[in-house]
Amino acid sequence: MTLLSPSRLWLFVILAALAAAYAVLARRKRQRAVRHPDLDLLASVAPRGGAWRRHLTAAALFLSVAGMVLGLARPAHAAEVPRDDAVVVLAIDTSESMAATDVSPSRIEVAVAAAKDFVDQAPSAYRIGLVTFDASAQVAVSPTTDHAALTSALDAIELHQGTAAGDAVTASLDAIEASSSDQVVLADDQPYRAIVLLSDGASTSGASIDAAAAKAADAEVPVFTVAYGTADGVLPFRGTEVPVPSDPSAMAALADATDGETYTATSARGLADVYDRIGTRIGTVTEQVELTVPLAAGATVLLAAAFVMSLAWAPRLV
């Protein structure tokens, strides 16, 4: 827990002084010799139950005021809350190695299905785009809230030679920037922006991953990477089998350089779980949630209790 306005805690000094004054007065009252000629009358007006009732009433009152003072200091705790807006680009490797069947029925079919689930579960206000990359990168769908258009584009994916992961990051950044320029917002209201890049192998063409990572870091756009496929993946080619292992080290370096996160997936279930974790990571933000309202409610209850006890236990002359 943290205090958003800790300077207001000085008010506890006044409360402590009042509590000390109450304690001194109570002690003097006990020490003072009380003489009364009519002991029966004294007994009738004295509160039943002794001094503990007075102290309990005072304690409730002091605790109530303490709760109010603490509320003024605005205590808060960190909590994960849903993100209102986001611009996310899915960058999917469409190189021929994605036809490998080490992930059944094939890497690309499972990748498309998992991406569709990610889009379906995303809040409708999120603008999601799609970039496909082989020897070059193409913006298939600019970030949009029309998630149905994104699903259609995923169904139309075709595989080609080459893997230009660096170009994919650059194209994704351009798509995010274009989407942001279309929205008239204040600087403090800029939506969260992120890239989710899935690839099953090392980059073989286009810009280097390091250069693309530097651009993403400068733009403060994290890249969440997924190294997809198994180490034993092969692709049939002219009567032989060509190894197409995944390259988790390159994906990890890209994520680390952009303050993103990296994942590996070697199965359909594993990829679905990865997209779920990424969705949770993107869809929530850590914020300081104030506790002032519950503190004020508790202080009010204590104040009411002190008032009721004071009325119920007050001495009566008739």
161 burial via Cβ count (<10 Å: 0-12, 13-18, 19+): exposed
- What is the C-alpha separation between 196 and 276, in angstroms, rounded? 12
Which helix H or strand E contains 73, and what residues bound it?
none
Sequence-separated (6 or more) residues with CB below 8 Å from residue 318: none
Residue 318: predicted pLDDT? 46
Task: Say how far residue 76 (Cα) sits from the centre of its chain.
Answer: 15
Mapped onto helix, strand or coil, the DSSP state of residue 136 is: coil
Rounded Cα distance, 250 and 165, in Å = 10
| CA pair distance 117, 265, nearest whole angstrom | 16
Q: Which residues contact 92 (CB under 8 A, 6 or more apart)?
A: 111, 112, 115, 130, 131, 132, 133, 154, 157, 198
Q: Please, what are the averages of pLDDT over each run of 10 residues along the chain (318 residues)?
A: 84 82 73 53 52 77 84 82 86 93 90 92 92 96 95 95 95 92 56 91 88 95 91 82 85 94 88 86 78 85 83 61
CB 244 within 8 A of CB 229: yes
pTM of the model: 0.69
Answer yes or no: are the C-beta atoms of 131 and 90 closer than 8 Å.
yes
**CA–CA dist 65, 227 (Å, integer):** 57
Q: Where does the chain have alpha helices with state H?
A: 11-31, 39-45, 51-72, 107-121, 147-155, 165-181, 209-218, 248-257, 268-283, 292-313
Residues 80, 100: Cα–Cα separation, whole Å: 39
The Cα 168–Cα 152 span in angstroms is 20
Matching residue, tokens 């969705």: 279
Do strands 75-82 and 86-93 pair parallel, antiparallel, or not at all (unpaired)?
Answer: unpaired
* Residue 162 backbone dihedrals phi, psi, to 5 degrees: 90, 160
Residue 186's pLDDT is 43
Note whether 152 and 163 are within 8 A (CB): no
- Residue 311 to residue 308: CA distance in whole angstroms: 5
